[in-house]
Structure formats: C-alpha cells, structure tokens
Amino acid sequence: MSKKTIDVVTIGESMVLFQPLIEGTLAYAPMLSKSVGGAESNVALSLQRLGKKSRWISRLGTDPFGDMIISTLAGEGVDVSKVIRDSDAPTAVFFKESKGYGDPNVYYYRKGSAASRFTKEEIQPNWFADARHLHVTGITPALGDNTTEMLKEAMIQARKEGLTVSFDPNLRKKLWDEEKARTTLLSLIPYCDIFMPGLEEAQFLVGERNEEDYCSVFEELGATLVVLKLGTRGSLTKLGTTMIKAEPYKVDYVVDTVGAGDAFAAGLLSILLRDDMPLAQSALERNVESALKRANIMGALATQFKGDWEGCPTKLEVEHLEAGKQTTTR
C-alpha cells in the first residue's frame, strides 16, 4: 500500500486577479496590482501555510498568466505536477474593485478558458493514489458544458480510492442560471462526505429553515458532516443529535471578504485531517470543536487583507491565536 503523501487534493480554476492599488472604481484606476485567485487554489495555499501538503489540479493556457499561477503555487509548496496546459484556450482573469463599503464588485473573464474545457476523460488515477482527501467547490460545475460531469466523476473516483471528500457550494450567481445552479449543487451533495455551505447558500438550496435544521436536511441528502457558516456569528455543526456551535473570532473591521470561505475550509480541514479516519465518530468527537474554532479564526483573518490568500497565517501563528498568545514581531 502506497504512503499517502498528499493530505488534500483540490480541483478547480484559478485566475489572475487585477485590482486597483487604491480603493475606487476600475474605470478610473490609474494602476492595477496583479495576483492569483481561485477558490480551490486558495484552499491549497492556505493548507500549505497550515502545515498540510496539498495538490492543486486544473487546466491553464500556455500563456504568461498560466505561468504566473504555476509559479505562485509551486513557490508556496503546492504540488502542481498534474496541471494540464492547453495551447488552444486562455488562462482566465478577473477584476475586483472595492469602494470602501459592502462586498467588492467582481468581474469575471473566464468564458472559454482552459479550465472551462475540463472533461471527465482527463481524470487520471494518479490524481488520488497518494492522497487522503479531495476538496471541491460549486464553482467548477458552472464553468463549462462538461465540468459538472468531470467534477462528479472526480468525487466518485476519489471515494473509490478511499479519500474523503469535502464540498463547498461556493455559489457564484454571476456564472450561471439560478435554477440550474440549485439543481446541480444539490445533485453533487450525495458524492461528498463534508458539506460546508454558508447560511445564504443553504437558504438558496433548500429554502428558509431554522439554522439547526439545515444540518439534518443536508445529512439526509448524503453528507456525513455538515458545517454551516454563519459569518459574523460563527459556525455550527451536528454530531448525532448534539448541535455544536463555535463563536466567531472577532475582528475590528473588514477589508475584503473574498477568500474568507476558502480560508474557513482550510482551517476546518487542517484539524479534521489530524486523524487517519477523520469522519469516524470518535475522531469527530475529539476534533470537531477545535476544527470549527480554527475555521472561524481563519475565515475572520482572511477579511483583514486584500487578495484571496496572501495574508493567510502560518500554523504557528494560528496556534498562538488559538491559545490567546501574542506573536513576537520585533
């Protein structure tokens, strides 16, 4: 039996992000900064900072933007050896503007991108053979004609290989029709073990319920562990008949909310994957409360900086926060 050297595999599109150097509209910004963004790569990068070995799988164009994404992730230690390069399709880009109030405006240019051409025939057994866990999001099914089938097949194959699977719906209404989004996201829940919607996403998928009821509803659809993100009110889950709620990590102000859910996912997985069988009842009883606590810390910290992942803390920094300690900085 081969040694599991990869803690988490992620599959999804990453893009080059452009945003004004100072707050304001894109129309009048004289200069833009350039960085890398994408839900799945955000999780992979954050997990690396937290001491877990991650692999990111995607399709990129054979262009400078694709080169930049590869270099950035590899530079942080993420395994990018399974990334497919496509000479006939471009790497996607997106733009973000913040006006100093509310969530940032995001503008995507990803139609016809290399990642939108993903097909299930491209899935390789070596994607999962040396890995423990697969993390995917609901963004991928929205990208192209065949990406839903690809993602579903990847989830099926990963579980056959013995991996656990987490699924963040990560709803992006700009990318697809709402009814199609709802139907598709619900159809993927039976293929995951951990489902982690935000409260608004849960409402979108199954309508208004009591917060505690959402866990039961999604368990009935097939998930083993349902973690509900409550934003500034923390998060909750259910073990058996017991509801467990973790209080939020308080921050004084919010700079940028983009990437907070991805940081939350990385924090949660970094604790759950301490055990070889993370979803065993005994393992969940040991770990789930501390996993929610770390997830809340990571999600809150992600709102404190511009960019999707660059300000993500290290394992030592998070452990200091969890213990109520101050990190020595000078």
**32 vs 35: CA distance, rounded Å:** 10
User: What letters, b where the CB count within 10 A reaches 16 and e where it falls short, cover 229-261?
Assistant: bebeebbbbbeeeeebbbeebeeeeebbebbbb
Q: Maximum CA pair distance of the chain?
A: 58
By residue count, the chain amounts to 330
* Token code pair at residue 147: 């990406």
330 within some domain: no
Residue 151: predicted pLDDT: 98
> Do the beta carbons of residue 270 and residue 294 sit within 8 Å?
yes
pLDDT tens-digit map of 59-103: 999 999 999 999 999 999 999 999 999 999 999 999 988 876 667
86 within some domain: yes
Please, what is the average pLDDT of the chain?
93
67 catalytic per annotation: no
257 within some domain: yes
pLDDT at 3 over 80: no
Total number of domains constituting the chain = 1
327 within some domain: no
Q: What amino acid occupies position 204?
A: F
pLDDT at 1 over 50: no
pLDDT at 328 over 60: no
Using pLDDT thresholds of 50, 70 and 90, give the confidence band for residue 252: confident
48 within some domain: yes
Residue 223: predicted pLDDT: 97
Report which of residues 304 and 92 the model is more confident about.
92
Give me the percent of the chain exceeding a pLDDT of 90.
79
pLDDT at 166 over 60: yes
Range of the domain at 90: 11-322
Residue 307: predicted pLDDT: 66
> Do the beta carbons of residue 167 and residue 136 sit within 8 Å?
yes
Q: Given 7, 86, 193, 262, which residue is catalytic?
A: 262
CATH code, domain carrying 52: 3.40.1190.20
pLDDT at 330 over 70: no
Residue 326: predicted pLDDT: 60
4 within some domain: no
Phi/psi at 86 (nearest 5 deg)?
-120, 115
pLDDT tens-digit map of 256-274: 777 789 999 999 999 999 9
* Token code pair at residue 287: 């770990």
212 within some domain: yes
Residue 329: predicted pLDDT: 47
Contacts (Cβ under 8 Å, ≥6 apart) of 143: 13, 110, 113, 115, 116, 118, 175
140 within some domain: yes
